[in-house]
Amino acid sequence: MHPSTNRVLVPIPAYNEEATIDEVVHRVRESLPDFDLLVVNEGSRDATGQILQSLGAVTATHLCNLGYGDGQHRPEQVQHVCKEGMNTEWDVLIGSRHVKTRSYSQIPCALTGACSPASISRSEV
């Protein structure tokens, strides 16, 4: 992608991902170096939060698991999706493995959880 005034935020939900979160963050940073990254720690009870802190990842922490995640998208797919969004001048583009059509009726009710309270932190390494 060419530099532009547009900024892209890649949110990554994480729940008890201590075994994989390091690799996921590195893959996203490698594949999408010009994009902003936000890891949403879904109330993990393992070392996910500590690993994110050691990586210096910008993190929003939910108090409980809201049920997002499970390897929704590969980082390598994000640029293609973003190019389409920028070519159509959309303000917001949300990828979902649950949507089968381009109709709002297919958006799962669980997306309303995105408005739940969370704490956001940026770790300095």
Count: domains in the chain: 1
Provide the residue range defining the domain that includes 83.
Answer: 9-122
The DSSP code for 34 is: T
Domain-embedded: residue 88 = yes
Domain-embedded: residue 3 = no
Domain-embedded: residue 1 = no
Domain-embedded: residue 57 = yes
DSSP element (H, E) containing 22: helix 21-31
pTM: 0.68
Domain-embedded: residue 13 = yes
Domain-embedded: residue 2 = no
Q: Which residue numbers in the chain have pLDDT < 50? A: 1-3, 106-121, 123-125
Q: What phi and psi, each to the nearest 5 degrees, are found at residue 94?
A: -120, 120
Residue 1: its pLDDT value, please?
44
Question: How many residues are present in the chain?
Answer: 125
Domain-embedded: residue 4 = no
